[in-house]
Structure 1
Amino acid sequence: MITTNRRPLFLIFFAALTAGAGNGISLVAFPWLVLQRNGSAVDASIVAMAGTLPLLAATLMAGAAVDYLGRRRVSMISDALSAVSVAAVPLIALTFGAGAVNVAVLAALAALGALFDPAGMTARETMLPEAAREAGWTLDRANGVYEAVFNLAYIVGPGLGGLLITTLGGVEAMWVTAGTFLLSISAVAALRLDGAGVPNREHVPQVWAGVVEGLKFVWNTPVLRTLAIVDLTATGLYMPMESVLFPKYFTDRNEPAQLGWVLVALSVGGLVGALAYAALSRHSERRTIMLVALLVLGVSMTVIAFLPPLPVILVLCAVVGFVYGPIAPIYNYVMQTRAPAHLRGRVVGVMGSLAYAAGPLGLVVAGPLADTAGLHVTFLALSLPMLLLAVAAIFAPALRHLDRDPETPVFD
């Protein structure tokens, strides 16, 4: 008789939910605090870039840290440091006054938070294959539910963030953010799972050598290399819309709750799309799902560029979330099935860092362009290249390997 244990998998889901909710609150609170001061999209871009620039190096190092220190330990350390970085906002306001929470301070704290978050996310993702095996779940199902939980966090987080800003204020909302990270720590502390503890360091070189090894593995695996390029481009085009353009649009209209609803719509769509992925993967090829997602994303962003009424924007955001929801489970599946267990953290770190690399470039362009040319032009400047990316992906031969992966993940 085969026995299953779902507890480790559900603890990972809970940790992803609580930590993601904290990041979701920050997603609303940080730009709101900046835009409330002077309404400048450039300043909002500065803070957004501060929260993304460290992600490239941090995610690269996070993978090596996970493989060297252990997945469970790194997840807990990362969440503890993230809690400190967001709790510093109200602490500074209490100590030095609300005026001390200026753009420079917010940018510095956003950068600190960005240094710590990737390690926690990488650690949780690399524990999924073993947790799925213990639970008796397929890896597609585990990845789909994990990403659905992550999207659920961004339903709870931004919605709660908008409510907290309205009732308590942006500064006080950071106390709640810190509390969510503490809940994530408590879940991971209770986790017992093969491969989650202190690793066998015979397989793990020093940090920089480990990063290089991960980069070589991704570069020498055509499907991973192509996915990294696609994700890098899509992230650079999509991130400014969520981090700068929507906050700018709704701040100008003094509608924080509506900003929260837009982010919730994106997450609701992502939640449904990720949950649907397990069923879709049985009837559709992964490559087909990805190509449709990129095409619909480009079309939806183009329509949003004309700034239609709020109900239309909400529907389009839900569609964007739905078609993008299966993308992360596909990425996770490919990484988990292509990389051996002792290298998994570095491969996840490399793929994540490459996805973040284009984000700051998009933000550098989007902020000044929004202030000078307007939101309509800026939206179009991001959506039209997304359509070109979808067309280019159709002719990428390496993406055909998405449906030629091994049936089970690689374990040491």
Structure 2
Amino acid sequence: MTAALATPVRRLRPLILINLAALLSATGNGITIVALPWLVLQQTGRATDAAIVAGAAALPLLLSSLFSGTVVDRFGRRITSLVSDSFSAISVAAIPIMAATLGLSVPLLAVLAAIGAVFDPAGIAARESMLPAATRESGWSLDRVNSTYEASFNVAYLIGPGVGGVLIGFLGAVNTLWVTAACFALSIGTVLLLKLDGTGTPDRETRPASMWTGTVEGLKFVWQSRLLRTIALVDMAIVALYMPVESVLFPAYFTKLDRPTQLGWVVMAMSVGGIIGALAYGALAARFQRRTMMLVAVSGLSVCMVGMAFLPSLWVILTLGVLIGLVFGPVGPIANYAMQSRSPEHMRGRVVGVMTSSAYAAGPLGYLVAGPLIDSVGIQATFFGLAIPLVLVAAVCFGLPALRELDR
């Protein structure tokens, strides 16, 4: 009996370690989502400054995420994940060190945020590229593996912002960042334990000739795939309109109310719904069309954002947050499925990197528009300015024929 149980556990070990590493790394980022804007707003009280720091963290991601997949395919998945988390840990730990020595300013925080974020896409692409091999090892279906992996991310953004909000209240925003550095260090330790075929240095014949040619190959592959191209463009629109809600609007709103813990609760509510939605995808994929779930996700997100724009009571915001996570939870697994099922093994890192960069390309635009808008017209008007275009994006999705390829 013991030997029979040991075999399934051994087969699941790579999948468990990949999910744990993703959980720890994303938890660190989840804490930062709350702590860094709070730190900036405490110092200056200006939403524009918080948006500048958020934009500084997002802007380098456009270039780094574009090349991140080529890094993975050129140097290997395991080493890329380790190096990515190492740089993230160092950059985050530098903030409390600088606070205790030289002092902090908005430009310095922007630089450190940029350094910390620039290596994240490579780590994400590396871990996502490992999933098909872990799928074969585990004996699970690809839908089930993607469902579990995306749920791990949502668990991280449940733990991270909640812990971050509580720790800010007890330790302050600066000292809270030490916990972030510890999360990245634990992720490094987890990946060091991982042994899985295809995660080492790629064969010379399959490696991209250079960073530039490898990235161009990835861009061509994604653009020539009608499905991947459509998903990338839809994702860009959603990120530009939705991400400022978590990173700028709600931090500004709850800072004005002086309630950091409630900010953590709202982000946690979204993550709770996301966990349920992502886990449910593994079962729903066998019963419903992926296109149908994608349309429900985008439509549900837009309706909930319109509701949030009215800035209702906390309990209504929390309910809408859960609904956002619930309907949008399957989107990550669906996008992963599309990338994994349409990319050859030796190009998987590049495909993931290009698809990720499309989302990061929209981030800086959303942040840098939302901050000045809040300062000029207020939080509620800015909220409506983002929510209404998202309703239009949802309407357009119903007429996109490429999404039908999700079920072919």
TM-score range, shorter chain: over 0.9
Distance in 1 between the 2:324 and 2:194 partners?
34
Q: Map 1:266-345 onto structure 2 (within 5 A).
A: 266-345=270-349
Structure-1 residue corresponding to 2:97? 91
1:60 alignment partner AA: L
1:238 Cα offset (Å): 0.5
Instruction: Give CA deviations for 1:76-119 in whole Å, capped at 9, x if unaligned.
Output: 000000000100011112222xxx21111111111001111111
Q: Give the match's secondary structure for 1:201.
A: coil
Structure-2 residue corresponding to 1:244? 248
Distance in 1 between the 2:107 and 2:143 partners?
42
Instruction: Give CA deviations for 1:232-268 in whole Å, capped at 9, x if unaligned.
Output: 0000000111100000000000000000001101111
Structure-1 residue corresponding to 2:48? 42
Is 1:172 the counterpart of 2:180? The answer is no
Contact kept, 8 Å, 1:72 with 1:197, in 2: the verdict is yes
Q: Give the match's secondary structure for 2:285.
A: helix
Contact kept, 8 Å, 2:281 with 2:330, in 1: the verdict is yes
Q: Give the match's secondary structure for 2:286.
A: helix
1:2 Cα offset (Å): 9.7
Structure-2 residue corresponding to 1:408? none
Please list every run of 5 or more consecutive structure 2 residues that lacks an aligned counterpart in the other structure. 1-6
Distance in 1 between the 2:398 and 2:204 partners?
41
Structure-2 residue corresponding to 1:409? none
1:223 Cα offset (Å): 0.2
Q: Map 1:390-409 onto structure 2 (within 5 A).
A: 390-404=394-408
Change in CA separation of 1:191 and 1:2 when aligned onto 2, cut-off 3 Å = closer
Match of 2:35 among 29, 34, 53: 29
Match of 1:355 among 340, 352, 359: 359
Match of 2:66 among 60, 69, 73: 60
Structure-2 residue corresponding to 1:410? none
Contact kept, 8 Å, 1:4 with 1:134, in 2: the verdict is no
2:294 alignment partner AA: M
Change in CA separation of 1:30 and 1:2 when aligned onto 2, cut-off 3 Å = closer
Distance in 2 between the 1:126 and 1:270 partners?
22
Change in CA separation of 1:69 and 1:373 when aligned onto 2, cut-off 3 Å = same
Distance in 1 between the 2:245 and 2:9 partners?
46
Q: Map 1:176-195 onto structure 2 (within 5 A).
A: 176-195=179-198
1:211 Cα offset (Å): 0.4
Q: Give the match's secondary structure for 2:271.
A: helix
Instruction: Give CA deviations for 1:30-77 in whole Å, capped at 9, x if unaligned.
Output: 000001112211001000101110111111111000000000000000
Contact kept, 8 Å, 1:58 with 1:114, in 2: the verdict is no
Structure-2 residue corresponding to 1:152? 155
Distance in 2 between the 1:376 and 1:93 partners?
33
Distance in 1 between the 2:340 and 2:264 partners?
33
Structure-2 residue corresponding to 1:231? 235
Distance in 1 between the 2:185 and 2:321 partners?
30
Q: Tell me which stretches of 4 or more aligned residues in structure 1 moved more than 6 Å.
A: 1-4
1:4 Cα offset (Å): 6.5
Please list every run of 5 or more consecutive structure 1 residues that lacks an aligned counterpart in the other structure. 405-412
1:374 Cα offset (Å): 1.0
Is 1:79 the counterpart of 2:85? The answer is yes
Structure-1 residue corresponding to 2:18? 12
Distance in 2 between the 1:318 and 1:111 partners?
30
Distance in 1 between the 2:178 and 2:9 partners?
41
Distance in 2 between the 1:141 and 1:305 partners?
34
Under a length normalisation based on structure 1, what TM-score does the superposition of the two structures give?
Answer: 0.96
1:137 alignment partner AA: W
Q: Give the match's secondary structure for 2:200.
A: coil
Structure-2 residue corresponding to 1:255? 259
Q: How many residues align?
A: 401
Contact kept, 8 Å, 1:265 with 1:318, in 2: the verdict is yes
Distance in 2 between the 1:56 and 1:353 partners?
5
1:180 Cα offset (Å): 0.5
1:134 Cα offset (Å): 0.2
1:3 Cα offset (Å): 9.9
Contact kept, 8 Å, 1:298 with 1:383, in 2: the verdict is yes
Distance in 1 between the 2:157 and 2:370 partners?
23
1:349 Cα offset (Å): 0.3
Structure-1 residue corresponding to 2:4? none
2:349 alignment partner AA: G
Distance in 2 between the 1:367 and 1:139 partners?
40
Q: Map 1:130-149 onto structure 2 (within 5 A).
A: 130-149=133-152
Q: Give the match's secondary structure for 1:176.
A: helix
1:356 Cα offset (Å): 1.1
RMSD: 1.2
Change in CA separation of 1:166 and 1:2 when aligned onto 2, cut-off 3 Å = closer
Distance in 1 between the 2:9 and 2:366 partners?
49
Q: Give the match's secondary structure for 1:348.
A: helix
Distance in 2 between the 1:122 and 1:364 partners?
26
